[in-house]
């Protein structure tokens, strides 16, 4: 079995009010990644993703582009310890 990793990504740009969270949840579900996505008060979107290195890496790569209608100016990624989370959700 592959190792499980967890990463926190903060996405900067035009990422609120454009379906970014909804699209991120769909992409995470497609990849089998656990975690969450939420808007932050400063206009960024925070995602925590847990899964295989390959799946998490694919989601992080997707975050650099985002969904149609968004504009990603940058993604800041940091390492976290896995917590054994199951499923992916949008938090408010």
Is 63 within 8 Å of 47 (Cβ atoms)?
Answer: yes
Among the listed residues 8, 21, 68, 71, the single catalytic one is 21
Q: Is 21 a catalytic residue?
A: yes
39 noted as active-site residue: yes
Distance CA 23, CA 18 (A): 9
- Please identify which of the residues 8, 12, 38, 39 carries the catalytic annotation: 39
Query: How far apart, in whole angstroms, are the C-alpha atoms of residue 77 and residue 87?
Result: 20
* Catalytic residue set: 21, 39
């Amino acid at each position: 079995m592959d190792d499980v990793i967890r990463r926190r990504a903060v996405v900067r740009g035009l990422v609120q009010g454009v379906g970014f969270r909804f699209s991120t949840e769909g992409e995470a579900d497609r990849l089998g990644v656990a975690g969450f996505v939420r808007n932050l008060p400063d206009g960024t979107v925070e995602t925590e993703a847990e899964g295989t290195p390959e799946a998490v890496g694919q989601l992080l790569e997707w975050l650099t582009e985002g969904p149609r209608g968004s504009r990603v100016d940058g993604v800041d990624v940091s390492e976290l310890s896995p917590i054994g989370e199951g499923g992916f959700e949008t938090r408010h």
